[in-house]
Amino acid sequence: MPATPEIVASYIAWMAEHGYAVATVSRHIASISKAHRSLGEQNPCRSELVQQALRGMKRIKGMAQREAKPLLKEDLFSTLEMTGHRMKDRRDRALLLLGFAGGFRRSELVGLNVEDVAFDRKGVIVTIRRTKTDQEGKGRKLGIPFGRARWCPVKALEEWLEAAEIPSGPIFRPVSRHSQVGMSRLTGEALSIVVKEWVAKIGQTAELFSGDSWRAGFGHTSDAMLSRYIQAGGNVRRECGEPRPC
């Protein structure tokens, strides 16, 4: 005492290397800061060097925490094999398959309404009304064709809407233990819980997955290239090699 900014910054780096959580590091720095104030010493924690160290750790830790483990095709199919005929299972099948096929952000998926989907002979056209990168608010349309394998996102969506008797409004909704379908919209957090529940049943570490895992998996498998951006009024089409717009 007193500590120099260099010592405190080195301490932050040491804690980061040893896996300390951001909240824990912040508490330690707050304690050091309080100790210096109580002694009337110059506070090293207010220095630019220490603040840069804290910002750097938060940025790195934050990126690590946000990176969801990809939900690959093999994992997806394994989870689907475990689904049954309960109302919740029907919803989750549609949710998992549509999310994977379209590489949707979880906010996009839970934000979908019945009015945003149009079925035709080739599949379904999904209109995404608001997106993070859509500065003009025009939205975009995404075509998802019928699947050739056993698990088809279009069929799963049709079966869910029919079984749940949802004529309009939110597509994905809470389902009670007694298979009662709610009126509200499923939240992004609830969507993540759905993913974690199913991957845990196939022996995966649930904490590594989230509602963005299929978006991560979308870029890890060529079969995920089945959905493509289309212009308003166009037909569902399959254009291999064309990247999905972000």
Give per-10-residue mean pLDDT for the chain (246 aa). 86 80 83 88 89 80 56 79 93 91 85 95 88 59 86 95 97 94 91 81 67 49 36 34 31
pLDDT of residue 194: 82
Locate all alpha helices (DSSP H) within the chain, ordered by sequence.
5-17, 22-38, 48-66, 73-81, 87-102, 106-110, 153-164, 188-201, 213-218
Q: What is the pLDDT of residue 235?
A: 37
| pLDDT at residue number 242 | 32
Contact present, 76 and 201 (Cβ < 8 Å): no
Specify the residue for token string 């019928």.
Answer: 146
pLDDT at site 60 = 67
Please answer whether residues 118 and 112 qualify as being in contact, where contact means their C-beta atoms are separated by less than 8 angstroms.
no
- Are the C-beta atoms of residues 233 and 143 closer than 8 Å to each other? no
What is the pLDDT at residue 229?
31
Please write down the long-range contacts of 42-50, taking CB distance under 8 Å and 24 or more positions apart: 42/2, 44/2, 44/3, 44/4, 44/5, 44/7, 44/8, 45/8, 47/5, 47/8, 49/5, 49/6, 49/9, 50/5, 50/8, 50/9, 50/12
Alpha carbon distance 59, 38 (integer Å): 30
Per-domain residue ranges of the chain: 5-66, 73-230
Burial of 190 (0-12, 13-18, 19+ CB in 10 A): middle
Question: What's residue 130's pLDDT?
Answer: 65
Q: Is 124 helix (H, G, I), strand (E, B) or coil?
A: strand
pTM, entire model: 0.59
pLDDT single digits (tens) 11-34: 888 887 777 777 788 888 888 998
Q: What is the pLDDT of residue 131?
A: 57
**pLDDT tens digits along 165-193:** 999 999 999 999 999 999 999 988 888 88
Q: According to CATH, what is the number of the domain 73-230?
A: 1.10.443.10
* CA 94 – CA 97 distance, rounded (Å): 5
What per-residue confidence (pLDDT) applies to 123? 93
What's residue 213's pLDDT?
56
184 CB-near residues (< 8 Å, 6+ apart): 170, 173, 174
Q: How far apart are CA 121 and CA 124, in angstroms?
A: 8
pLDDT of residue 168: 96
